[in-house]
Amino acid sequence: MKKIFDIQRKFRFTVYVLLAISLLVIGFSSFVFVSSLKLVERSREKIYVLDNGKSLLLALREDISENRPAEARDHVKRFHELFFTMEPDKQYIENNTREALHLADGSAMKQHRSYKENNVYNQVIASNISMTLLTDSVQIDFSAYPYQFHYFGKQRIVRQSTITLRRLETTGQLRNSSRTDNNPHGFLIENWLITDNRDLDTQKRKSF
């Protein structure tokens, strides 16, 4: 009888040990599973950015809804800088214009054709004119879609004998589009119109 009792006791002990091991294994597996999920989630919050094609930098991705207004303003600013920055170099002008036209619809192409028809680009090249753009502000109304924007800036036009400061004000709309290499912010400018482009001041360049 005592032998049978010892066998039952050893059997219960073995069952308890196996149960404890099973619980530990289940607990450890659950911990590994949860940790893996968190690790995957953290990895999704990181992106890798090429720094001028040379080095690979790790950057934390911000919530896209919070960063969208900043992206929209930069999109508008970048478009205007590309479109209105010119040097007496045909290839330079064409490259800038090509990049700018990826960021806008046919309204920008219409203005581009107008410049070509009025020999603006040829005059820049023939007269050795340099045109740079200083952005004052970009105002965007996010209360309605597509988003209405107003751009305010100044053009600095350097000729051989004079330097002219010209006001630049434009308006248009922004709509969401797919992100591409040519359009990294995922916006498209529509119904773009130059509303003010008057000369503010002209000064003679100093001759040495």
**Residue boundaries of the structural domains of the chain:** 2-48, 64-204
Average pLDDT over residues 84-113: 97
Mean pLDDT of the chain: 85
pTM of the full structure:
0.69
Per-residue confidence (pLDDT) for residue 56, from 0 to 100: 46
Note the pLDDT of residue 49. 53
pLDDT digits (tens, 9 = 90+) for 56-79: 444 445 555 568 999 999 999 999
Residue 2: its H or E element:
helix 2-44
| pLDDT at residue 146 in the model | 95
Average pLDDT over residues 167-172: 98
Concatenated DSSP letters of 21-75: HHHHHHHHHHHHHHHHHHHHHHHHTEEEEEETTTEEEEEEPPPHHHHHHHHHHHH
CATH class of 64-204: alpha beta
Give the per-residue pLDDT at 168: 98
pLDDT tier, 23 (very low <50, low <70, confident <90, very high otherwise)? confident
- Cis upstream peptide for 69 (omega within 30°): no
Residue 17 has pLDDT above 80, yes or no: no
The pLDDT value given to residue 20 = 75
